[in-house]
Structure 1
Amino acid sequence: MIANEDRSRQVRPQSGILPVSGPLVRDLERRWLGFALLAWAVVAAWYVFHRWTSIHWLSLGDTDDNMRLAQVRAWLAGQDWSDLRQYRLNPPAGFDIHWSRIVDLPIAGLILFFRQFTSNAWAERLACGIAPLLPLSIVFVALSAMVRRLVAPMAWTLALVILVTGATATMLMFMPERIDHHGWQLACLAVTVAGLGDHRGARGGALVGLASAMSLAIGLELLPYAAMAGAIIALRWVWDAREARRLAVYALTLGGGGGIGFALFASNANYAMRCDALTPVWLSVVVAAGALLLLLALVSPRSAGIRLGLALTAGAVIAAGFVHFFPQCLGRPEGVSPELARNWLDNVREAKPIYKHPFRVAFPIVALPVVGLIGAFVAAWRARRGPQAVGWAAVALFSAFAVAMLFWQARAGPAAQLLAIPGAVALAWLLLPWLFNHRLMPVRVFGTVIGFLVVSGLFAGLAIQYLPIDRPTKYTRRVNAATGECLRTSRLMTLDRIPKATLFTFVDLGPRLIVVTHHDAIAGPYHRNGDAILDVQHAFGRSPMEARAIMKRHGATMLLVCPNMAEATIYRARNPGGFYDRLANGRTFDWLTPVPLVRGSPYRLYRID
């Protein structure tokens, strides 16, 4: 490996490399792995310190983070490994969660570890604070390894700086208390892009195949990226038959890794032919793709035209087989009713294209991916006759795909920013030395600072603060503040003074309620819980008598509402004169008995008679 790096260093253009030398620099080049992990440890320690209040109060702000902890608790309490049914929502039957146990493992391991030294409550807090930072170490190492190969041996330091300071949407996925699966999938994506740029065919193919298989076993959110990575590896083989080994190893690790992931981590419910997780549907696609690609690698004809034809034929066979055998998956993978899609899924903000978001939200997300895309294409052009040409071409294609994904769903922002970093580093490695060594002092000082702000994407977040557009209204600030109060740990804990009951409450409050209190709820914002979600929407939006019948049917003995919570405002706006609108306007009902709560409580609690 050292010989390969030395050889690539000799042919790499030197004009863009920062003029630094000395013992420290040589140590940073030679011992980059240890220093990258040290940097991760420092960053992780800082985030734990900075977010200590959130850790102390177990401030799991997202519904998925709360549901993840509820899932881990149930497993540690004796629920079967393959039983991912959440019995505290819509009891006693509960409903299935489409996740896997992969992300549960580090959280559960940390809880068991900290239980040896402290209470279970503190063990959970510490585990939820530390667990999200673990996949960040993989991102640090993968990005460092990649930019060292494609840019310069010292470029890994700049990559980590841009990641921590400029990729804000990405870094949010690794913050303490962000325990859901997004961080682990981003780590898989970082390994994938590192594998695409790896000059060693077998190692690069294995990294992409294993990372894609693990990502799919966790969830299907990054399925398009996994498919694009496979297409890029196939294109490399089409371009150069010597890439057959990379393709063969990728095919073996993808198919084998997918099979192992399904065998070890699929829940009982995921053995059904569903479209929203690694079920037999997608397992068939993964294994078939692996088998066909392996066959192509073994045959590997000399003609590039024939290789292209075989690759296109393999893709067509997989697509045709999917359409024939799994037509139920050609629509929305969630499989929800049209009413639920219209009332809920179609209105999820992160699932909307980036151009449908306010400029104040969209601009900071898009800035770094665009800069990284420009940098990747510039680097690919400069390396077109060098040994890094194919690696940069793969990175440029992947970056372009990530930017395009933003025009499908804004939730692609963290992945797009992560994939932009190699290109941004390449651009910085060209621009910053020129500015830093300029003969004019103002250019050296201010130009270097401005240049870094641009290539890191930080300029967007700074500029947006001074633009008088899309500022939150007083109404929005009031709703956000009310929602925060409704989800606050200290507020919810006061409900434990009431004997354990099944509470009929808002969908977005359900997961938080079952984590912080001993009460059960009816629904959470999960598509396999679709019937219960619709029942909650119907109860709050229709007549009082219909609301009572729905609550009774679900076995709820109490009604909990939190006025001015975001979900509450939707019910009032969509259903004027409906049950919740009347309740919020002070109407009383003979089948609801108010239950007194502590002074200052944001809730209103009723006994259902």
Structure 2
Amino acid sequence: MAMAGAAPLGGARQRVLFQGDRRSEAALVLFIWAVFAVITGYVGYAAAIEGMSTDDAMRLVEARDFLAGQGWYDLLQRRLNPPDGVFMHWSRLIDLPIALLLGAFDRVAAADAALRLTVTVWPALPLLPALFAVASLTRSLGGAGVLGAFLFVMSPGPMSRFAPGMIDHHGPQLALALIMLACALRLDRSAKAAAGAGLAGAAMLAIGMETLPTVAVIAAAIALRWAVTGPEVARGTAAFGAVFALATLAAFLIDVAPERWLLPVCDALGPAHLGAAVVGGSGLALATRSPGDGAAARFAGLALIGVMVVLVVAFVAPACLGDPYAALPEIVRTEWLEQVSEARGALTFAHDEPQSALVIATLALSGVGAALWLSLRCAGGARWRVWTGTAVLVVSCLVACWQVRGATFALAFAIPFLAACITALARSGGPLRGALGLVALNHTTLAVLGLGAAAALGFPAKPSASMAARLCPVADYRALNALTPGLALNNIDSGPHILAFSRLSAVAAPYHRDVDGIAAQIEMMTGSEETARAVALSRRAAYVVLCPGNPGVRAERERNPTGFVAKALGPTPPAWLTPIDLPRGTTLRAFRVSP
């Protein structure tokens, strides 16, 4: 929909780019996706496995276990901190398509090629609906949908979630968030869009709780719009609420084992989230049918629903109303969680990586600025669409200030606003002005400006922790397959790769449910030679495996030059460790544990 006062440009090509010819835009969006998928697949195929993060490797372990016959509801990772194992908080809804792709490619290609094909193809699939959602969002904000899709694929931050090797749940979550918002902006015009928003919100909750704030703010925006405007969005609001409640119930039944239905979990879809979704969604649907008239009555109804939602959560799982990591032991919180790069707050991130922080802030604030500019220009029905999108963008920025992992969502939500601004500039000032806007308001240019500002301010460039964490190649972990299967006492970030690419078990991996394993590796990493030996023997570990280039290992080695890590990686390891000869060029260090 065009902005108020917009003047369309002439010419067939300009109609496609700036007037929202949806059929032509859909074809162009499909073309953009296909070009990107082919190019990135061709370029990234060879290194797709080597670029996998800890989450990607762990997701591969889950998919393989499922393919090998592990039950749908059985998310126990038996090789992680055995003998008890760790029950993961992830969803089979993501494991299933990965397992299907891997099983299909295994039938037509060698094992390594099948794996590379799987981790190359899967990330590109959720990108397609993400691009259509961005195009829809851009149109709803008054811009050209194809321009929004183009800016999205030119944005390194959001696109990193869809790169080869990125098979974890973050790409699908981002796609669903964009779909939910795109549908929410159209619920006054389409009951199908309203239902789509409810389905996307339920799927987001089923896959992971990271996007709970996004689901909550979009649902709140839908409810507030109904409270203010009333009948004109009542049908769409009712459809959203009813579908959200029913779809969340269906997702709960599909994804959660019956014996876990009453467990008060907060880090995965549990009874508290189900209760909140059912009460909130059905309550909203019923409220739109209530006989009360006027905004005051509608706001009173929303307030009652809100109170009921809070009471349900407080009764079923009161811990979910507080700090999600409150139950972690202090040593795990301070020695691990507070060191996780993506869990840092904005101030800590700015202190540690000022250059990256300034670039992200530049990108996010440019989106907020574009949203505010559009808010001042829009009129009529477009106002609510712009306001809703702005609210989601601002909340995403606040989430990123709490934990920097939320920055990807903030940057993704900013793109449709930038595209809408470029479209408005082209419509009001002609093609040249639009071209200048495209050059200035894309994430690549804005990132360069942020880097220039950082350099001018003297901010040092630091390598990202995620890149440094991959200094031990996949081939190093595959070399461990020559060893007899056994338990490895390992540094935490190597755990998923040990599980994914060798037959060994691992004590620790970077997941908060592995509290016992994380505490054991902290004791080993920060302790003396004697302490580490006691941990290894108490765990009946057959091996010690360390990645010398890992940031945590490197930092501990420098911090405590007489500690276990420094001695193990030194020229003369402790007597109770026997170095294992790995292939030449291997950076990973492995030792046998002597009784």
Secondary structure, in 3 states, of the residue corresponding to 1:605?
Answer: strand
Are the counterparts in 2 of residues 143 and 422 from structure 1 also a CA contact under 8 Å? yes
In structure 2, the gaps of 5 or more residues are: none
Deviates more, 1:170-179 or 1:237-246: 237-246
- The alpha-carbon distance between structure 1 residues 517 and 119, as it changes in their structure 2 partners (threshold 3 A), is same
2:337 maps to a residue whose letter is L
1:337 to 323, 329, 332: 329
Matched, 1:320 2:311: yes
Q: How far is 1:317 from its partner?
A: 2.5
1:409 maps to a residue whose letter is Q
Deviates more, 1:563-572 or 1:299-308: 563-572
Matched, 1:369 2:369: no
Matched, 1:158 2:147: yes
Q: How far is 1:220 from its partner?
A: 0.4
Give the Cα separation in 2 of the matches to 1:282 and 1:481: 35
1:368 maps to a residue whose letter is L
- In the alignment, which residue of structure 1 is the partner of 2:27? 34
- The alpha-carbon distance between structure 1 residues 44 and 482, as it changes in their structure 2 partners (threshold 3 A), is closer
2:566 to 560, 574, 581: 581
Q: How far is 1:105 from its partner?
A: 1.7
- In the alignment, which residue of structure 2 is the partner of 1:115? 106
In structure 1, the gaps of 5 or more residues are: 1-7, 438-443
Give the Cα separation in 1 of the matches to 2:469 and 2:579: 22
Are the counterparts in 2 of residues 219 and 277 from structure 1 also a CA contact under 8 Å? yes
Q: How far is 1:372 from its partner?
A: 2.4
Secondary structure, in 3 states, of the residue corresponding to 1:559?
Answer: strand
1:129-208 to 2 correspondences below 5 Å: 129-152=120-143, 155-165=144-154, 167-198=155-186, 199-208=188-197
- In the alignment, which residue of structure 1 is the partner of 2:234? 244
Deviates more, 1:221-230 or 1:320-329: 320-329
Give the Cα separation in 1 of the matches to 2:275 and 2:381: 36
Give the Cα separation in 1 of the matches to 2:245 and 2:591: 54
Secondary structure, in 3 states, of the residue corresponding to 1:308?
Answer: helix
Q: How far is 1:150 from its partner?
A: 3.6
Secondary structure, in 3 states, of the residue corresponding to 1:54?
Answer: coil
2:253 to 263, 269, 279: 263
Q: How far is 1:190 from its partner?
A: 0.9
Q: How far is 1:22 from its partner?
A: 5.4
Are the counterparts in 2 of residues 300 and 307 from structure 1 also a CA contact under 8 Å? no
Are the counterparts in 2 of residues 228 and 398 from structure 1 also a CA contact under 8 Å? yes
Identity among equivalent positions (%) equals 29
Q: How far is 1:134 from its partner?
A: 0.8
Are the counterparts in 1 of residues 528 and 563 from structure 2 also a CA contact under 8 Å? yes
Matched, 1:394 2:388: yes
2:447 to 451, 461, 484: 461
Secondary structure, in 3 states, of the residue corresponding to 1:89?
Answer: coil
Secondary structure, in 3 states, of the residue corresponding to 1:184?
Answer: helix
Matched, 1:350 2:342: yes
Secondary structure, in 3 states, of the residue corresponding to 2:79?
Answer: coil
1:458 maps to a residue whose letter is T
Give the Cα separation in 2 of the matches to 1:304 and 1:404: 29
Secondary structure, in 3 states, of the residue corresponding to 1:606?
Answer: strand
Are the counterparts in 2 of residues 364 and 457 from structure 1 also a CA contact under 8 Å? no
Q: Deviations over 1:478-533 (max 9, x none)?
A: x98875332x1223322323333322211100111121222221111001101111
Give the Cα separation in 1 of the matches to 2:247 and 2:468: 45
1:415 to 398, 403, 409: 409
- In the alignment, which residue of structure 1 is the partner of 2:493? 508
Are the counterparts in 2 of residues 201 and 245 from structure 1 also a CA contact under 8 Å? no
Give the Cα separation in 1 of the matches to 2:109 and 2:66: 20
- In the alignment, which residue of structure 1 is the partner of 2:298? 307
Give the Cα separation in 2 of the matches to 1:268 and 1:582: 49
- In the alignment, which residue of structure 1 is the partner of 2:6? 14
Matched, 1:222 2:215: no
Are the counterparts in 2 of residues 350 and 409 from structure 1 also a CA contact under 8 Å? yes
- The alpha-carbon distance between structure 1 residues 115 and 593, as it changes in their structure 2 partners (threshold 3 A), is closer
Secondary structure, in 3 states, of the residue corresponding to 1:299?
Answer: coil
Q: Deviations over 1:311-352 (max 9, x none)?
A: 122212222332344222233324322221111112222122
Q: Deviations over 1:237-296 (max 9, x none)?
A: 111111221221111111111111111112578532111110112112111212321221
Secondary structure, in 3 states, of the residue corresponding to 1:504?
Answer: strand
Are the counterparts in 2 of residues 220 and 278 from structure 1 also a CA contact under 8 Å? yes
Are the counterparts in 2 of residues 502 and 556 from structure 1 also a CA contact under 8 Å? yes
Q: Deviations over 1:87-128 (max 9, x none)?
A: 122233321110010111221121122223112332222111
Matched, 1:572 2:568: no
Are the counterparts in 2 of residues 18 and 429 from structure 1 also a CA contact under 8 Å? no
Give the Cα separation in 2 of the matches to 1:300 and 1:131: 49
- The alpha-carbon distance between structure 1 residues 37 and 22, as it changes in their structure 2 partners (threshold 3 A), is closer
Secondary structure, in 3 states, of the residue corresponding to 1:394?
Answer: helix
2:521 maps to a residue whose letter is V
2:340 maps to a residue whose letter is V
Are the counterparts in 1 of residues 354 and 460 from structure 2 also a CA contact under 8 Å? no
Are the counterparts in 2 of residues 244 and 300 from structure 1 also a CA contact under 8 Å? no
Give the Cα separation in 2 of the matches to 1:497 and 1:291: 57
Q: How far is 1:415 from its partner?
A: 0.8
TM-score calculated relative to the size of structure 1: 0.89
Give the Cα separation in 2 of the matches to 1:24 and 1:229: 31
- The alpha-carbon distance between structure 1 residues 196 and 23, as it changes in their structure 2 partners (threshold 3 A), is closer
1:383 to 373, 378, 385: 378
- In the alignment, which residue of structure 1 is the partner of 2:50? 59
Give the Cα separation in 2 of the matches to 1:267 and 1:173: 29
1:492 to 477, 497, 503: 477
Q: How far is 1:86 from its partner?
A: 1.0
Q: How far is 1:23 from its partner?
A: 10
2:135 maps to a residue whose letter is S
Q: Deviations over 1:447-503 (max 9, x none)?
A: 766532432232232234544333346xx69x98875332x1223322323333322
Give the Cα separation in 1 of the matches to 2:561 and 2:210: 36
Are the counterparts in 1 of residues 20 and 139 from structure 2 also a CA contact under 8 Å? no
- The alpha-carbon distance between structure 1 residues 299 and 381, as it changes in their structure 2 partners (threshold 3 A), is same
Matched, 1:562 2:547: yes
TM-score calculated relative to the size of structure 2: 0.91
- In the alignment, which residue of structure 2 is the partner of 1:98? 89
Q: How far is 1:435 from its partner?
A: 5.7
- In the alignment, which residue of structure 2 is the partner of 1:3? none
Q: How far is 1:133 from its partner?
A: 0.9
Give the Cα separation in 1 of the matches to 2:487 and 2:289: 59
- The alpha-carbon distance between structure 1 residues 93 and 420, as it changes in their structure 2 partners (threshold 3 A), is same
Give the Cα separation in 1 of the matches to 2:230 and 2:20: 38
Secondary structure, in 3 states, of the residue corresponding to 1:503?
Answer: strand
Q: How far is 1:139 from its partner?
A: 0.9
Deviates more, 1:407-416 or 1:530-539: 407-416
- The alpha-carbon distance between structure 1 residues 311 and 465, as it changes in their structure 2 partners (threshold 3 A), is closer
Are the counterparts in 2 of residues 432 and 452 from structure 1 also a CA contact under 8 Å? no
1:317 maps to a residue whose letter is M
- In the alignment, which residue of structure 2 is the partner of 1:549? 534
Give the Cα separation in 2 of the matches to 1:533 and 1:348: 13
Give the Cα separation in 2 of the matches to 1:519 and 1:18: 64
Deviates more, 1:319-328 or 1:258-267: 319-328
Q: How far is 1:140 from its partner?
A: 1.1
2:108 maps to a residue whose letter is F
- The CA RMSD measured in Å over matched residues stands at 2.5
Secondary structure, in 3 states, of the residue corresponding to 1:222?
Answer: helix
Give the Cα separation in 2 of the matches to 1:548 and 1:463: 51
